[in-house]
């Protein structure tokens, strides 16, 4: 327990440039205070002591704005930055050196019993306001974008954004865990593809209308069939690429 508390204390200086001295961190960082009280409550919880662990959790919530159930398993070196509104459920598991921002919920999705909260791997970054719900597995080195809602398992070394959460990046380049705001916008990419498609269709309709006005005297069945063939949507490489982006977005790209 003491080694975990020391790791919790030390990681703040590694990840928060605003941390200047140990007195400030000890007395002014609610994330550290919440973890300190939780680790004490968790030890009592494992001894099956009634009421007192929940009472400690309730006091910690009142003092810090962070609610961690005494049954939750929190790894060493976990940093809850700011922390207001963070909720971590009873059967949740948080891996070592994970980074959790304010407004995060590691919760359940119903009234089921047993393991009903997420298992978060090591070195995971959960952005502000993200919701990770249900008995799901979040792999190691995963980054969850701010405001995302994750409802399915996420493989290791992936980046997840959106509602519902979608994998938009897989393993390859390692990134600074503090750069959680530098995430791709999958919704914007899909909307851009759809706008490009609409613009292309509008150009084709305009060209078709001009062609019909110039050849209005030749409107026959054969001419109509020819015009129909001319108005077909091109299936070039650009459109195929846009189709791929849209299809992956709608399918969840792996989640």
* pLDDT tens per residue, range 206-229: 888 888 777 765 655 555 555 444
Task: Indicate the average pLDDT of the chain.
Answer: 79
* E-state strands within the chain: 67-68, 73-74, 79-80, 87-88, 93-94, 99-100, 105-107, 119-120, 125-126, 131-133, 137-138, 143-144, 149-150, 159-161, 166-169
Indicate the pTM of the whole model.
0.67
- What local confidence, expressed as pLDDT, does residue 18 receive? 79
> How much of the chain, in percent, has pLDDT values that exceed 90?
30
Which one is predicted more confidently, 11 or 136?
A: 136
Dist CA 77 CA 99 (whole Å): 9
- What local confidence, expressed as pLDDT, does residue 244 receive? 62
pLDDT at 17 > cutoff 60: yes
Q: Which two tokens stand for residue 56?
A: 């400690």
Q: Is residue 149 helix, strand or coil?
A: strand
Domain boundaries, the chain: 2-169, 186-251
* pLDDT tens per residue, range 123-136: 999 999 999 999 99
- What local confidence, expressed as pLDDT, does residue 54 receive? 94
Q: Where does the pLDDT of residue 235 fall: very low under 50, low under 70, confident under 90, or very high at 90 and above?
A: very low
In this structure, whether the domain defined by 2-169 belongs to CATH 2.60.40.420 is answered with no
- What local confidence, expressed as pLDDT, does residue 203 receive? 84
- What local confidence, expressed as pLDDT, does residue 227 receive? 47
- What local confidence, expressed as pLDDT, does residue 155 receive? 87
Q: Where does the pLDDT of residue 105 fall: very low under 50, low under 70, confident under 90, or very high at 90 and above?
A: very high
Lowest pLDDT segment from 30-39, 64-73, 94-103, 240-249: 240-249
What's the rounded mean pLDDT across residues 133-160?
A: 89
Q: Which two tokens stand for residue 30?
A: 């609610």
Lowest pLDDT segment from 13-27, 138-152, 237-251: 237-251
């Amino acid at each position: 327990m003491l080694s975990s508390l020391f790791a919790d204390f030390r990681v703040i200086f590694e990840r928060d440039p605003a941390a200047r001295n140990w007195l400030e961190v000890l007395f002014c960082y609610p994330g550290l205070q919440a973890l300190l009280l939780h680790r004490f409550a968790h030890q009592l919880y494992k001894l099956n002591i009634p009421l007192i662990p929940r009472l400690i959790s309730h006091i910690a919530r009142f003092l810090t704005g962070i609610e961690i159930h005494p049954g939750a398993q929190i790894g060493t070196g976990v940093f809850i930055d700011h922390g207001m509104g963070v909720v971590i459920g009873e059967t949740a598991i948080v891996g070592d050196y994970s980074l959790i921002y304010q407004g995060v919920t590691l919760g359940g999705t119903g009234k089921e019993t047993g393991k009903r909260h997420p298992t978060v791997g090591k070195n995971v970054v959960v952005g502000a306001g993200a919701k990770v719900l249900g008995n799901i597995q979040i792999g190691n080195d995963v980054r969850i974008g701010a405001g995302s809602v994750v409802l399915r398992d996420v493989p290791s070394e992936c980046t997840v954004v959106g509602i519902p959460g979608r994998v938009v990046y897989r393993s390859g380049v390692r990134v600074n865990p503090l750069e959680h705001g530098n995430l791709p916008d999958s919704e914007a990419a899909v909307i851009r593809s759809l706008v490009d498609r609409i613009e292309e269709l509008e150009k084709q309709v305009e060209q078709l209308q001009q062609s019909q006005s110039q050849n209005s005297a030749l409107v026959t069945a054969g001419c109509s069939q020819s015009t129909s063939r001319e108005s077909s949507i091109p299936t070039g490489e650009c459109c195929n690429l846009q189709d791929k982006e849209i299809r992956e977005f709608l399918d969840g790209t792996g989640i």
